Structure 1
Amino acid sequence: MKLVTLAAREKYEELAETVGFDFHTMHGEKYWIDGEAYEFSLAQVEEDIEGPATELHEMAMEAVGEIVRDSALMDRMAIPAEHHDLIRKSWSEAEPHLYGRFDLSYDGKSPAKMLEYNADTPTSLFEAGVFQWGWLEDQIAAGQLAQGADQFNGIYEALSSRWPQIMKPGETLIHFAGDPDNKEDQATLRVLAETAEEAGFEAILTPLAEIGTDADGRFLDHEDRVIGTLFKLYPWEDLLLDDFASLIRGSRTRFVEPAWKAVLSNKGLMAVMWRMFEGHPNLLPCLFEDEIGKDTAFVRRTMLALRFSGMARKPVLSREGAGVTLTAPGGRIVEASGAEGYGHHPHILQALAPLPDFAGRRPVIGAWITGDRCTGLGIRDDRSAITGDLSRFVPHYLV
């Protein structure tokens, strides 16, 4: 694994804008990086990322089963008590899921470490699943990359294949809802809608804020059409606090992602996974903060590991690196990000897994899960030790 410099494509910004990627530059800084790339060997991807990420997903699903049976655990994860039954029902009925993205720390040598699981509303899907594949083809055609260069990227095709597995017999229509003013969200929604259409379904984009209800409690779109299946690019932790959350159960709308994703996308999941799979090479020691001081062998072992490695303190609910504090062994603060409204939530303490340093850039590997297997990767990097909403997206290739 290494970071390499290539010639950027001529007028790539214009190309990006023609395909709807008009957020390639944000706040005067390049978000998409066209003249650099991360190089991997096939073995690194297959053995260190693809296989482990698929296994991590299986372990995470096992942890969900444990959590939904334990109301105290769901309380600890800040899941509203009045919606525990909704989540349990969603899980017990095996409501189907679509996709997610693990964030991993990986240096090309040591086992990848799970930092978190963005399993409900992960974005950067357009960049990872579509635009970086076009970049690869163009760079091969330009002679910047060898003819045999490849990319771990079956995301788009896997999504198209997944929709028929999610939909019920006879269903033909899927609504896709999000914030029409958020360019990145809209790019993600367009990719998902296109993959659904390729699978033979009709896709309707509808503004999230314009969804209403009829007299029978059915959800309606912006043109008053009944919503049977809804993909919502809106996190469950927010949805469950909204005024209309009480209407979900009686609406007869099927949600993608399902309600149990409120558990899978919660950072408390990592503390539960460490307790269940302590010592797994792809997991980091992790505790709920309120476990400190409990005199058990498990807590003592984990606290010893945290003190030795340093730790990351994270709210169980947060986005884009908000509310994270990194401390070195001994307690010195290495870096901290603003809480941005997440600081009141319970926290976890996770062993510090410093991101590798490639010429001052620190990459996070995004391992994309479609259904139940890893189908591709995307990379965000930054000079900061905490990856945030403006961190760069850098393409990759395999040799």
Structure 2
Amino acid sequence: MERHSIVPRPGWQRTVEEQGLIYPLTRHPDGSLRPYWDESAYYAFTLDEVEALEEVVEELHRMCLAAADHIVTAGRFADLGITDPRVAEAVAESWHRRAELPSVYGRFDLRHDGTGPAKLLEYNADTPTSLVEAASAQWFWMEDRFPGADQWNSLHERLVAAWKKQAPLLPPGAPLYFAHSSADELGEDLMTVAYLKETAEQAGLDTDWISMEEIGWDTLSGRFVDNNLRFIRGIFKLYPWEWLTTDGFAGHVLDTLDNGGGTGSTLWIEPAWKMLLSNKALLAVLWELYPGHPNLLPAYLDGPRELTATTGYVAKPLLGREGEGVTIHEPGTAPVPREDPCCYQQLAPLPAFAGNHTVLGAWVVDGEPAGLGIRESSGLITDEYARFVPHAILGTI
């Protein structure tokens, strides 16, 4: 794993925008616009490195499913902040019926420097983004810059195959809606949903658009409807379950939830059991079940324990994205009380390549490793100002 500088392609911004990456720049607090898509560098891997990372992702995904089963079997929903009995019941039923429910994709965030074992930082299995740049933009970049090279990137074909495989689980005779929140100002959620919709269409599915804010409720039929009052029987949403189960329509969502077997009127993708994997409490449960595992970092829910004096720790809100609410505590510093429920994970600073702190985003589609996206940040927390940097497998260049 090596980072190399390279001259960006002429007209790169227009090129990636035409490929669906309509958010190639990020506005920083000082008002400046700087590249989010950063092709002034790339990461090179050997095929052996990629194959080893694929094995890690397979193992982590298997362990996460075992942890989810443990949470449900032991009834540990409160550890995840799920205190509403109806929500806990819906998640448990979703888990038990998971074979009947479509589940498409997720993204592991890993700490890896190319030398030691990769370490799990978190698993976003409900609403992961950075998909367009990982699946599309970096593939076309590689074809332009290194014709004939390879990349850890089978995202597109695996997504199409996943939709084909899971099509029989979808409600028959109705379109599959694709929804994002209209509050998305950058267009990242919009284009992620648009790309997933495209892969579903290539799989032969009938699809339609709707925003979360446009979803209506028909009081006469007791069902969700679109702008034309058509029943919404199946919908992919880039909208977190923790919002879906707490906003104004939460009661209707739970009342009409199709958790397999035709028990409800609306099938949501990703399914409710993904709440078990996208919660940072999962990290602590994993450490309980697999203490000392080489691909895990020590993590706890009741406080940082020995991490305060030894390695230091990172406090992560159970529900949060793009580094929001994450705090770093160096070894020997006094613990800082948190009012919000947190997971306390061992501090493992992101490796620095030419001063850039790097995190690997390893994608899973239909339960299988599918690709890699790399983000860099100026600090140790990967936040909304991080940059996406493409990669290639060096042995094929």
* TM-score of the aligned structures, taking structure 1 as reference length: 0.89
Q: Give, in angstroms, the shift of residue 199 of structure 1.
A: 0.3
Q: Give, in angstroms, the shift of residue 172 of structure 1.
A: 5.7
| Amino acid in structure 2 at the alignment position of 1:322 | E
Query: Which residue pairs with 2:178 in the alignment?
Result: 176
Render the CA deviation track for 1:112-157: whole Å, top value 9, x for unaligned. 000000110000100101111010001124xxxxx4x210000111
| Contact in 2 for aligned 1:152/1:377 (Cα 8 Å) | yes
Q: Distance in 1 between matches of 2:279 and 2:330?
A: 24
Query: Which residue pairs with 2:259 in the alignment?
Result: none
Q: Distance in 1 between matches of 2:16 and 2:367?
A: 31
Q: Distance in 2 between matches of 1:381 and 1:81?
A: 38
- The answer to whether the aligner puts 1:93 opposite 2:106 as a matched pair is no
Equivalent residues in 2 for 1:22-33 (5 A)? 22-27=22-27, 28-33=33-38
Render the CA deviation track for 1:22-71: whole Å, top value 9, x for unaligned. 21012111100122101111111111x21101110111011111112334
- The answer to whether the aligner puts 1:232 opposite 2:234 as a matched pair is no
| Amino acid in structure 2 at the alignment position of 1:304 | E
Structure 1: which 5+ residue stretches go unaligned? 142-146, 293-302, 337-342
Change (3 A) 1:200 1:58: same
SS at match of 2:352: coil
- The answer to whether the aligner puts 1:130 opposite 2:136 as a matched pair is yes
Q: Distance in 2 between matches of 1:66 and 1:395?
A: 37
| Amino acid in structure 2 at the alignment position of 1:120 | D
- The answer to whether the aligner puts 1:117 opposite 2:123 as a matched pair is yes
Q: Distance in 1 between matches of 2:121 and 2:173?
A: 37
Query: Which residue pairs with 2:332 in the alignment?
Result: 330
- The answer to whether the aligner puts 1:75 opposite 2:88 as a matched pair is no
Q: Give, in angstroms, the shift of residue 96 of structure 1.
A: 3.0
- The answer to whether the aligner puts 1:154 opposite 2:134 as a matched pair is no
Equivalent residue in structure 2 for 1:211, among 215, 218, 223: 215
Q: Distance in 1 between matches of 2:329 and 2:254?
A: 43
Q: Give, in angstroms, the shift of residue 360 of structure 1.
A: 0.3
- The answer to whether the aligner puts 1:38 opposite 2:43 as a matched pair is yes
Q: Give, in angstroms, the shift of residue 78 of structure 1.
A: 1.0
| Amino acid in structure 2 at the alignment position of 1:70 | A
SS at match of 1:102: strand
Query: Which residue pairs with 1:298 in the alignment?
Result: none
| Contact in 2 for aligned 1:175/1:227 (Cα 8 Å) | yes
Question: Structure 1 residues 183-192 or 306-315, which shifts more?
Answer: 306-315
Q: Distance in 1 between matches of 2:64 and 2:106?
A: 12
Q: Give, in angstroms, the shift of residue 5 of structure 1.
A: 1.1
Query: Which residue pairs with 1:273 in the alignment?
Result: 286
Query: Which residue pairs with 1:259 in the alignment?
Result: 272
Query: Which residue pairs with 1:13 in the alignment?
Result: 13
Query: Which residue pairs with 2:228 in the alignment?
Result: 223
Q: Distance in 1 between matches of 2:118 and 2:151?
A: 19
Q: Distance in 2 between matches of 1:17 and 1:392?
A: 16
- The answer to whether the aligner puts 1:163 opposite 2:167 as a matched pair is no
- The answer to whether the aligner puts 1:51 opposite 2:64 as a matched pair is no
Change (3 A) 1:384 1:332: farther
- The answer to whether the aligner puts 1:195 opposite 2:199 as a matched pair is yes
Q: Give, in angstroms, the shift of residue 304 of structure 1.
A: 3.3
Render the CA deviation track for 1:91-117: whole Å, top value 9, x for unaligned. 111133111000000000100000000
- The answer to whether the aligner puts 1:107 opposite 2:120 as a matched pair is no
SS at match of 1:331: coil
- The answer to whether the aligner puts 1:61 opposite 2:74 as a matched pair is no
Q: Give, in angstroms, the shift of residue 16 of structure 1.
A: 2.0
Q: Give, in angstroms, the shift of residue 165 of structure 1.
A: 2.6
| Contact in 2 for aligned 1:218/1:250 (Cα 8 Å) | no
| Contact in 2 for aligned 1:172/1:201 (Cα 8 Å) | no
Equivalent residues in 2 for 1:240-259 (5 A)? 240-251=245-256, 252-259=265-272
Q: Give, in angstroms, the shift of residue 309 of structure 1.
A: 1.6
Q: Distance in 1 between matches of 2:173 and 2:3?
A: 46
Q: Give every structure 1 segment of 4 or more consecutive aligned residues whose post-TM-superposition deviation is greater than 3 Å.
A: 169-172, 303-307
Q: Give, in angstroms, the shift of residue 305 of structure 1.
A: 5.3
| Amino acid in structure 2 at the alignment position of 1:265 | S
Percentage of pairs with the same residue: 41
SS at match of 1:260: helix
Render the CA deviation track for 1:231-274: whole Å, top value 9, x for unaligned. 01000111111121111233211110001111110000000010
Q: Give, in angstroms, the shift of residue 344 of structure 1.
A: 4.9
| Contact in 1 for aligned 2:245/2:254 (Cα 8 Å) | no
Q: Give, in angstroms, the shift of residue 219 of structure 1.
A: 1.2
Question: Structure 1 residues 109-118 or 208-217, which shifts more?
Answer: 208-217
SS at match of 1:283: coil
Query: Which residue pairs with 1:397 in the alignment?
Result: 392
Query: Which residue pairs with 1:354 in the alignment?
Result: 349
Q: Distance in 2 between matches of 1:277 and 1:227?
A: 41
Q: Give, in angstroms, the shift of residue 368 of structure 1.
A: 0.3
| Amino acid in structure 2 at the alignment position of 1:103 | D
SS at match of 2:15: helix
Q: Give, in angstroms, the shift of residue 20 of structure 1.
A: 3.2
Question: Structure 1 residues 77-86 or 125-134, which shifts more?
Answer: 77-86
Change (3 A) 1:51 1:221: same
Query: Which residue pairs with 1:297 in the alignment?
Result: none
Question: Structure 1 residues 213-222 or 352-361, which shifts more?
Answer: 213-222
Q: Distance in 2 between matches of 1:216 and 1:307?
A: 59
